[in-house]
Amino acid sequence: PHRNFRDGHVTVGGIIYQGDSFPERFRGKYISGDLLGHGVQWHDLEPWGSTFKSSHGGELLVANDTWFATSDVTMGPDGSVFVSDWYDQRTAHPDPDAEWDRSNGRIYKIESQGTKAVSKFDLSKLSSKELAELLAQPNDWYAREARCLLAERRDAKVIPVLRKNILEGKNDRLALQSLWALYVSGGFNEALAAKLLTHRNRNIRTWTVRLLGDARRVSPSIHKQLL
């Protein structure tokens, strides 16, 4: 269910904003392109049983141009939001279908006033331990990049640090980030899963079930716990 519906009926390229440069009221909001409404909107999400319900929050970008056609949005390392606009006179159901103008595409950057430019950097030069420390960053861009690099390395030396974050840490967000990083680093197994199924945080328990299910096979003892 979605309350206060506005403009066009095609929502594309959505992200949950988890940056640290926009005002705090935007954190956790769903930001998405409104293809036929020619803009970018943000929405409130509320848990609703096993899923979510939503409501319109406001406009993040108003194009005032009927050629503006958002096809995707993403977030950068400075917390700003990038918007891709395929920019075409037609946005839906053209005839003939193949006659698109491919010369007009644009990319826009939406940043909060006072946002500082990010100096040049290369996360791949960091040690695995330093990458694990980035999981605590309030800007989720760094945590995602760190997890990608850890997945490529499969560095077993970082596994004890990640386990400690999950089992002993008090930061639930860091615990979940560490669980994802642990999984892609090859440190997830049934012995750990047995402990995580009783973890205080429901997101850890939920993702433990998900990761166990991905293997499509569990031991009898884990089966009992799941039941």
53: Cβ contacts below 8 Å, ≥ 6 apart:
1, 2, 3, 45, 46
51 pLDDT more than 70: yes
26: Cβ contacts below 8 Å, ≥ 6 apart:
17, 42
CA 218 to each of CA 3, 62, 186, 212: distance values in angstroms, whole numbers, following the listed order = 41, 51, 17, 7
* Rounded percentage of the chain residues whose pLDDT exceeds 70: 96
Q: Cα separation of 180 and 208, whole Å?
A: 10
User: Per-residue pLDDT tens for 79-97?
Assistant: 999 999 989 887 777 667 6
Local structure of 221: helix, strand or coil: helix
CA 73 to each of CA 14, 42, 76, 131, 203: distance values in angstroms, whole numbers, following the listed order = 6, 12, 10, 25, 26
Q: Cα separation of 22 and 29, whole Å?
A: 11
For the segment 114-122, the average pLDDT, to the nearest whole number, is: 94
